[in-house]
Chains A and B, each alone.
Chain A
């Protein structure tokens, strides 16, 4: 056994899934090595044997097997870690082989977090190359540029950037690439990546819009945005994230204009209702009851008769309970999730009203709000709109209608102040005319 084999063997002594397999060819020993967990060993061995039958000498076999011949020991080790098969002969010739990998990623499946109605049903998976393939299949132009970077300290993670040359402003791409090259820490989550595009500590809006539907990513590319892929992350990251992503999906365009307009307007109403409804209830019951018409005001007052909690506490209790229910349903396995729905429905809808802890009107308001919040596109967007409603609720409980409207304005101003690399979050589209060359 040669020195090289010994060296590699000692290096991987503590790796149980590392194998060294000895084959004999023309009275020369050949060692195949790699990870059992990453390489399909049986098929790879078969392939090497078939190649051996076709080759006359050991040298010819090595040439047939691979282009990467006689490399240094470090390269061999890193190739093994990356999941390649390394072949070393007795006489210390070596080769790095691309082999049949173990199937470690799932195949193309339906989207799990989004629901395209009457649209294409394939979704991105964990494998970056497969994801990029999905994009290339839909966007077969030579102007679709792709570059990838390895970033990280402990483990190198691959980040791929895709854009359409001539549409995306080159200054933007340069800025992104510069930022990516500066990354020195490990990228473990989206938030780690997000921080590098400008830190937003107290603002729940990300720089990246997450989508798992290929047509959404393709349309974003066509609208001169950049699509990033992080390996082992099953979604495309559209950069920059814009306000209208919350209301617009590409699938809407499959409907006639009027219908898509209606659907989008419903989403806007949904976002507004989520923000306003709880605050409006508190404002009209505790601060400004006289703004309602007298019969409505009496109805509201009657529905709150005998309820010991103040409107703010009452609403806050219900809001937190509903948010807890939603979180619980996400956490639990699907088989138990329905139980929570049922129990939650009974407790929130029936028991709390009958116990006179909250008013029936509030239950209606909360139900409407939860439904409205679900119309928003994207899980993160829905979450952040749901989190912003608490601010309006508190403002409305102090200042009534004034607080409600000012709170809305405040949120509007806050969102308008956000920019990603000088591209405003509130922009409808970018770049503006004339900049796209």
Chain B
């Protein structure tokens, strides 16, 4: 298996971590009909930035994001990349807190305090991040297979409770949601900036990107429509963990477990760990390359970031604040998803023109 395919699988796994957390709730709260249109617009927005980003990175085949920013100037790199590392850390902290609450709810570990689960998840994510990208890539193959088998199992069993009339009306009543802030937040739920962390010549090709995008869009549609088909729009907006509640409706007599949500929980754990490991690794890589540290210092910065993330997650007081902080951190991330690809693309074009002029002389 080539590294490009492994990279595609890693992005798929990391997207799963983003998608199941708040995505379905944000989508169902923003529109009351024609959810697929919103998902589609969202997907188009993402593929637009993905293509711009990829195009921009292709101008510098042997450089990654950080090298390109350093080429622009030390201060530019410092101003954009260091805050980016901290935004990633906050996403890890708040995201893991939200995930640990959800995992406790799904696995019914009512006696386990959330900080213990949070510490455990932070530890495993940081460990994975320290082991480096190669480890994540190789492990992601196995995780991709396992999680997809679990998701497939869940999806197939849930179909028994589907009521397709719940999805009507198929067409949205208005396109008002395009101007909703929630819609913009949704863009942040995407690991597409990871593309820039591997030099373009070793990175995924356009075909890989297309398959990743298809997979992710499909997963998003599943996560939105499974609860929708089962409960219908009016009920869904009142629920908290949508997919979990939907999967919980299934009752299989022959099965040894009383609730098959544990499989959903397991896939969620795998997604979460890999997503956060990827984010932490990105943060570590940003710090190491921006400041030109030695390679072994990356693990120190990852440890520092994960401790910071743990403290952030620990001190969020309640459910409402968790959601707000997750939305805030992904909102800023969404802003970066807009800014960074555009900067890289424009700088790439300028750089190429400059080179052309230079060669003519």
Contact = CB atoms under 8 A, between A and B. Distances in A.
Interface in B230-269: 255-259, 262, 265-266, 269
Contact of B117 (A291, A399, A419, A432): A399
B139 interface: yes
A426 interface: yes
Contacts of A290: 108, 258
A147 interface: no
B107 A402 contact: yes
A21 B196 CA distance: 80
A291 to B, nearest CB: 5
A417 interface: yes
A328 interface: no
A292 B258 CA distance: 5
Contacts of A419: 134
A37 interface: no
Interface in B64-121: 103, 107-109, 112, 116-117, 120-121
Interface in A383-437: 398-403, 405-406, 409-410, 412-413, 416-417, 419, 424, 426, 428, 432
A104 interface: no
A294 interface: yes
Given A399-B112, A399-B117, A409-B269, A291 B124 contact: no
B107 A293 contact: no
A216 interface: no
Contacts of A44: none
Given A288-B109, A413-B135, A296 B256 contact: yes
Given A409-B273, A410-B124, A416-B138, A401 B258 contact: no
B131 interface: yes
Interface in B269-288: 269-270, 273
Given A288-B109, A400-B109, A293 B117 contact: no
Nearest to A293: B258
A426 B137 CA distance: 11
B210 interface: no
B107 A291 contact: yes
B337 to A, nearest CB: 27
Contacts of A288: 107-109
Contacts of A287: 109, 112
A292 B256 contact: yes
B139 A416 contact: yes
Nearest to A432: B2
Contact of B262 (A293, A297, A401, A406): A401
B143 interface: yes
Given A291-B262, A413-B131, A399 B116 contact: yes
Given A294-B258, A412-B142, A406 B109 contact: no
Interface in B342-356: none
A303 to B, nearest CB: 15
Interface in A265-290: 287-288, 290
B135 A291 contact: no
A416 B135 CA distance: 5
Contacts of A401: 107, 262, 265-266
Given A400-B109, A409-B273, A293 B256 contact: yes
Contacts of A405: 266, 269-270
A7 B127 CA distance: 64
B255 A402 contact: no
B172 interface: no
Contacts of B269: 402, 405-406, 409
B128 interface: yes
Contact of A413 (B103, B109, B116, B127): B127
Most chain B beta-carbon contacts within 10 A, residue among A297, A417, A432: A417
B132 interface: yes
Contacts of B257: 291-293
A118 B2 CA distance: 37
Given A288-B108, A291-B262, A412-B139, A417 B256 contact: no
Given A410-B124, A413-B127, A291 B108 contact: yes
**Residue picked from A398, A400, A432, most chain B C-beta under 10 Å:** A400
Given A291-B107, A406-B120, A413 B139 contact: yes
Nearest to A422: B134
A292 B107 CA distance: 11
Contacts of A417: 131-132, 134-135
Nearest to A425: B138
A260 B103 CA distance: 39
Contacts of A403: 120
Contacts of B266: 401, 405
Contacts of A399: 109, 112, 116-117, 120
A293 B108 contact: no
Interface in A151-210: none
A424 B258 CA distance: 40
Contact of A291 (B1, B116, B120, B258): B258
Contacts of A410: 124, 127
Contacts of A294: 258
Contacts of B121: 406
Contacts of B127: 410, 413
Nearest to B111: A287
A400 B107 contact: yes
Nearest to A415: B139
- Identify which of B109, B121, B265, B269 gathers the most chain A CB atoms within 10 Å of its CB: B109
A200 B68 CA distance: 37
A291 B110 CA distance: 12
Given A409-B273, A410-B127, A426 B138 contact: yes
Contacts of B103: 402
Contacts of B120: 399, 402-403, 406
Nearest to B253: A293
A436 to B, nearest CB: 15
Contacts of A292: 256-258
B254 to A, nearest CB: 10
A297 B258 CA distance: 9
A413 B259 contact: no
Contact of B143 (A297, A398, A409, A432): A409
A402 to B, nearest CB: 6
B142 to A, nearest CB: 6
A265 to B, nearest CB: 14
B2 to A, nearest CB: 7
Nearest to A433: B2
Nearest to B128: A413
Contacts of B139: 409, 412-413, 416, 426
Contacts of B135: 413, 416-417
Interface of B: 1-2, 103, 107-109, 112, 116-117, 120-121, 124, 127-128, 131-132, 134-136, 138-139, 142-143, 255-259, 262, 265-266, 269-270, 273
Given A400-B109, A416-B135, 7 more contacts: A288-B107, A291-B107, A401-B265, A405-B269, A413-B124, A417-B132, A417-B134
Give 7 nearest A-B pairs by CB, closest first. Answer: A416-B139, A416-B138, A417-B135, A417-B131, A293-B258, A405-B266, A426-B138
7 contacts: A297-B258, A401-B265, A402-B117, A403-B120, A409-B269, A413-B127, A416-B136
